[in-house]
Amino acid sequence: MEYSALKAVVRLSEPFLCESRVSTFTLECMQELLELKERQIPLQELWVVYDESGEFDQTALAVEHVR
């Protein structure tokens, strides 16, 4: 299986956090980028975010294994 071909559908949620080396990167820029990519981002480009509920632990583990 070619892992670089695997993609995830990405939607922004609240609260929104973006860490960027470029300070001009805004929420609007992120929304535009997702629209251009049809909201599909390669799994290898995703980063796991901690969530206290534990609801997404298995998903986070799978993403880390792909990376």
Domain boundaries, the chain: 3-66
- Identify the pLDDT of residue 38: 93
- Identify the pLDDT of residue 20: 67
Model-wide pTM > 0.85: no
- Angle CA 34–37–39, to nearest 5: 55
Q: Look at residue 64 and tell me whether its pLDDT is greater than 90.
A: no
Q: Look at residue 35 and tell me whether its pLDDT is greater than 90.
A: yes
Q: Which two tokens stand for residue 67?
A: 């990376």
Q: Which two tokens stand for residue 12?
A: 């922004």
- Band of residue 21 on the pLDDT scale cut at 50, 70, 90: confident
